[in-house]
Each structure stands twice: as structure tokens, then as C-alpha cells.
Amino acid sequence: MASTSSSSIQKSFKYDVFLSFRGEDTRKNFVDYLYHALKQKGIYTYKDDEEIKKGNKISDELIRSIEDSKFYIIVFSKNYASSSWCLDELVKIMQCQKTTNGQTAYPVFYDVEPTEVRKQSGQLEKHLPNM
């Protein structure tokens, strides 16, 4: 289990890593490979294996898993921003990262340029609200 210390307070996490990804883009290829590579190295990783139905709200269990993870790997792909679940996860991840528990997010750009995410252009422009 991952743990960190902040002054005299120590927070234990259930997961070392939480994977945030758009299933239809990356579940059966990149994310599966990444998940198994992390697992093989002894890194306890949360990967949501449920097919999320459009329009459904992010589950309480998923929120708890985000809160209970030390690190986040956000796999930005062409359709990431078209998923309200992905965007809800991203908001929660950013909220957790701002806390004093030492949680850190790492972006991975899969078949999308970092500038497209930064400038909200290309496919992302259609789906991301102006931030």
C-alpha cells in the first residue's frame, strides 16, 4: 500500500495508482498493457473494468477509489473529453491533488498531442467546456 507523510500526519492509501481513461479508445490496448506492467512491478493499481453507460453519474465507489489513490495516470485520448465520466473523474482528481495528502497526477497523451489538450483544440475542442 502506498503511504506518504506530511509533517506529523500520515495518510495511507488503498491504491498506489488510479488509471483514468476513455474505455473505447484505450481499454483493450494501451491501458490493459499499462495496468499489467504496473501490476507486474507490484504497484497496486485501480482500473475500472465496467462499461460505463452514457448519461450515468460517476459512482460513489469510483469517487472513493480516486480519493484513496496516491498517484493518478490520466490517459488523454481523442474521445476522453466526450465522456462526462472522464471529465468528472478529472475534476475529482484535480480536487484531490490540491489537498495536502501529496497525491500527484501524471498525464499520458495517447494518439493526441499535448498541445491539443492544453489549447483544447482538435477533437477535444468539441467536447471540453472553455476552462
- Catalytic residues, by residue number, are 89
* CA end-to-end distance (rounded Å), the chain: 35
Residues with Cβ within 8 Å of residue 127, at least 6 apart in sequence: 79, 81, 82
Q: Residue 116 corresponds to which amino acid?
A: E
